[in-house]
A and B are shown apart, each in its own frame.
Chain A
């Protein structure tokens, strides 16, 4: 089965090519089914690879497959190959699995769109790129996939490019990601310069030769790349705007898979992290601050999707906190459970938007649970999972991260705890605003504009139910009850070995932390319930403008980066170009014209003048010759 591993990325690629060729003929919904089928087949192959690895011994679970020589230049050969190890397979499993469900959902969600086949072209290309990123055996190939998902993200955010906001958001995402990509590229240059290879296994084998300073530099540069892709401070600003894309895109790319690429990269390079002591603290601090920062903004958003976007940034912050604390398993665990419940929440939000005819403002929703039974039931499951209510998936993974953060530093733990409280609060706020309370959508449209919320078709609700089920049982992947139940921990052991942080906390501390976390979650839900269940007015004190505008970070960036940039380009255009460059060109021209108009007087047209000039010249030459001879 391992020999067929190349099929995992190849099937979505085939889907992409097929859809590109015959997508228009297949139309709606044929193109959607073809795309879904290809990704589902890829998922099946991944399952086969997974079961093959499962039957092997721990040591034989890391396999590299060289597929072809990518860049053959004399003795310099760049090979493209797959690195199949427990980490890559775990990642590929949830990428293909969640992607299949979201493809299925898109069949219903995108129905009636003018460019329906194109949407699936992009989606399949995205899944292909993501799988290349995950399964690549070298930094370079990972970077190819990295750029591929970035490009697809750009295409899909601007899918409805008729809207200026969507086009702008796509540009913003692309440009912000370039800043991060710069870090990734420089990290690759440094690695190639000191190790001479970009193959993961070669680099990891020679990681000892890197030296502490180089390893730290590489990790920090990779962190910059990861912060761009995974929307961490200070490069997170593109993700909330990316919600302009179709909701399945928000679910697939901007919540479940692509944004976890940065976390995956940091986990992938864990042998380098082990050699870069101080850098891991930077990762943990960035993660913790992002987690709490984004959570505060999420508390004051009115757009149903923006709340989820900030929530995604916050949850990704938790993953970085875990990576920085050395808890790689916890990071992967949270990545997987987050993919389940965040995809669920986004798809649920999409179903709500669909049911309300493209309303995204939560202030115009309410009491929807009677009209959207399946959506609301699954959404509530997602809410409990992300808020961290046991025994739902999010609780186990978040608890795992918080305990590891406690080991790293109680301050980080405290930040994470406040983040958990805020998470419970803003998610409860969303649930209560959307599904409970008074129906505020009725007052909006009267007469022919009246909207009646309706439940979505089965292609949309089936993924919701499956993801809800996964959000309930996802915690079972890694139950911290005994060594036997920590499946994920044992599965990933060949990848991390002894580098994964061993908990120093005693069992008593763990229980104490457990109850404190639980209390924080309960407090968050209780506050939200008290404020939003049956309330009339918005609690303005809790949602000041500074939070609604995301701490004015966008304004800050536009003041610090955009305004000087505009001034610089204005100066370049109107001073440098117009005065200096054009001035030099025009100056040469007018110099020639002026000297020409003076010199034209010499050309009198009278033969005698010319003859006189000849005579004078001859006399001068003669005089010169004579003077030379005389000497």
Chain B
């Protein structure tokens, strides 16, 4: 008795939504970053689910690409965040609004 694919998809959608809302409502850059990771992994979950449902290995391959890109993104992102923490005492996203029009 296996769990139906729709449950996984529902879980992934919920995780994605939590991540998206987190990015939108939270001010802390680190938390926002984690929310992005949450969204990425929600997408990964859908890929894996569809790969299994459609019996297509392509979905799982894409997940590896996403993981690699996410790892690289974490490196760059954390580098930026560390640079910001060096100059400021705390990292609130709204403080960093120098590109205001």
Contact = CB atoms under 8 A, between A and B. Distances in A.
A611 B101 contact: no
B97 interface: yes
Contacts of A612: 24
A608 B99 CA distance: 13
A605 B25 contact: no
A603 interface: yes
Interface string A590-618: 00000000011111111110011001000
A615 B94 CA distance: 18
Contact of A600 (B23, B98, B101): B101
Nearest to B94: A606
Nearest to B36: A611
A500 B45 CA distance: 111
Contact of A615 (B24, B97, B100): B24
Contacts of B72: none
A605 B24 contact: no
Nearest to B27: A608
A621 B25 CA distance: 22
B93 interface: yes
Contacts of A603: 99-101
Contacts of B97: 604-606
Given A606-B93, A608-B23, A608-B93, A601 B101 contact: yes
B23 A611 contact: yes
Nearest to B100: A605
Contact size class for A? 10 to 19
Contact of B20 (A604, A605, A615): A615
Contacts of B96: 605, 607
Nearest to A612: B24
B42 interface: no
Nearest to B97: A605
B15 interface: no
Contacts of B94: 606-608
B24 A602 contact: no
Most interface-central of B93, B94, B100, B101 (chain A CB within 10 A): B101
Nearest to A597: B101
Interface string A148-189: 000000000000000000000000000000000000000000
Nearest to A603: B101
Nearest to A602: B101
A607 B93 contact: yes
Contacts of A599: 101
Nearest to B25: A608
- 7 smallest CB-CB distances across A and B, nearest first, come from A605-B97, A603-B101, A600-B101, A605-B100, A607-B93, A611-B23, A605-B99
Given A607-B94, A608-B94, A611-B20, 18 more contacts: A600-B101, A601-B101, A602-B101, A603-B99, A603-B100, A604-B97, A604-B100, A604-B101, A605-B97, A605-B98, A605-B101, A606-B97, A607-B32, A608-B23, A608-B25, A608-B93, A612-B24, A615-B20
